[in-house]
Chains A and B, each alone.
Chain A
Amino acid sequence: MTAYISPFCMPFLEMRKMKRTGFCQAFLGGGALAALVPVVNMALRAETFTSQPGSPFQILMEANWQLMAQLNIFLLVCGACLLYHTEYADNGLQKARSLPLGSSGLFLGKLGILLSAGLIPLCLETASLTLCCMRWFPDRPGESLRILTGMAFAFAMLLPTGAAMLLLSSMCRNMWISLGAGVILVFFASMLPASSSSVSDVLALVPFCGPYRMLHELPGREAALWTVCLCLGESVLLCAAERVYQSIRRCFA
């Protein structure tokens, strides 16, 4: 009988809505910038790092990740704002809400795009970190697995931030408010202390703070798995929060 669109098609549909908004270009450009950070750093002060003992990937991460992670978060903030700006700008959202879509279909579709787009800078960064390892640490090979797991962990840490930012931007009709709030949150989170381990373990789960965490800082494999699982759970909770918010919004709309 009557067919409904499958939820798995939603991200592709949402992608069509992002035509001519500069969404992909933003992620490519921002990702390229973040990928340049370790290259420039190595090119300028190679000795400082090559003289350090230990894993080259960890040395590179310690030196550059703070800035790279911040760029990644910024990209998610801008991407989330852009995703809902197209909906609110000409009231397309009202039409979308009167179509036969599951009540979270729109949000999940956008989340799918935002997180896939988040993979763009991560891939570029993975490539540049790999190149840096090969170029400046030719005597210490065998880093690829470490790089891959490290970056996969970084992706998991981005999930709650992406979901939280998308939730925020879905609440704001005016893009400047969600963008402003997002930027404030990014700066606020970057100022929180990341030194003492028990505090930073908790902070790893807070959106906007988590992406600064690095895999090798965690005490062991088990701790890393726990952190990833909790991040996944947190993202699911944020999606549920969006659903609750939608039903509350409908009472006042």
Chain B
Amino acid sequence: MSANIIETENLTKSYGNFTAVSNLSLHIKKGSVYGFLGPNGAGKSTTMKMLLGLTKPSSGSFHINGRTYPKDRLAILRDMGSFIEAPAFYGNLTGEENLEILRRILQLPKSAVEDALEIVGLTEHRKRLAKKYSLGMKQRLGLAGALLGHPPILILDEPTNGLDPIGIHEIRTLVRSLPEKYDCTVLVSSHLLPEVELMADDFGILNHGRLLFEGTMAALKRTADAAGLPTHDLEETFLAMIDIDNRNRGERR
């Protein structure tokens, strides 16, 4: 078996004649934090939804922890904590009751809920209805749901959206610490390269459904250097990469 815990092979998703994700082959190492980058509409969320079985790939396949979808659907989902796009919860329940439902489905011990609430800093507000939470609190509740029971694989789609600077820093530190603490692999998406740089070991850059780059930060700098892109500022490297790809796309048309 390879050291990759998640591997996709030519994963493709089309909606009608529009291709949201095209021939994507990701390699995510066990115990690493993988930063998944791309501008709006690049296909990050769509890719994550395919990994979670929320949407069916048009073609291609993926393996997670040596298991294949859809044959081992339950076993795959058992190993994954996820947070996709907007936080998903039941507004008529309190934060604690929301997590309690997840805990029962996942058959975890009672302490798991307190644990998760503590990690995301919601302990104080656990008795409040989830629909009365502020945006950042809803986001934190979503994160708590993903972290519940410390699953071996975490899929986080823009987890720092709507959080205050302290929250962003906390989440960043948390994500960074997960592999050592819980032997966890994290796939985290973002729009900002400098932001993921602080958390991730490996990076995948996506634009219009196609993977532009995959590898470590050092490899990214080498690639950018070779292509004559600016490397002193990561933001600029990222923007230049996307810009060149967009221009190439224009020519291909």
Contact = CB atoms under 8 A, between A and B. Distances in A.
A89 B89 CA distance: 9
A217 B129 CA distance: 50
Given A4-B107, A20-B92, A13 B101 contact: yes
Given A9-B104, A100-B78, A100-B106, A92 B56 contact: no
A196 interface: no
A94 B88 contact: yes
Contacts of A87: 90
Range class of the A interface residue count: 20 to 34
Majority secondary structure, B binding face = mixed
Interface stretch (A63-71, A151-159, A207-215, A245-253): A245-253
A38 B248 CA distance: 77
Contacts of A20: 92-93, 129
A100 B73 CA distance: 8
Contacts, number: 93
Interface in B81-123: 82, 84, 86-93, 97, 100-102, 104-107
B189 to A, nearest CB: 15
A31 B78 CA distance: 41
A2 interface: yes
Contacts of A251: 55-56
Nearest to A247: B56
A77 B53 CA distance: 30
A13 B97 contact: no
A98 interface: yes
A174 to B, nearest CB: 16
A102 B75 CA distance: 11
Contact of B89 (A3, A95, A101, A102): A95
B54 A97 contact: yes
- Interface magnitude class on chain B: 35 or more
A16 interface: yes
B171 interface: no
Nearest to B58: A251
Given A3-B107, A13-B104, A98 B89 contact: no
Given A98-B52, A250-B53, A92 B90 contact: yes
Interface string A231-252: 0000000000000000100111
A4 B74 contact: yes
A41 interface: no
Interface of B: 15, 49, 52-56, 73-75, 77-78, 80, 82, 84, 86-93, 97, 100-102, 104-107, 129-131, 145
8 smallest A-B Cβ distances: which pairs? A95-B88, A91-B88, A90-B91, A100-B77, A100-B78, A253-B55, A94-B88, A250-B56
Given A2-B78, A16-B101, 6 more contacts: A17-B93, A92-B88, A92-B90, A97-B53, A247-B56, A253-B55
8 contacts: A5-B104, A5-B106, A16-B100, A92-B88, A97-B53, A98-B52, A98-B77, A247-B56
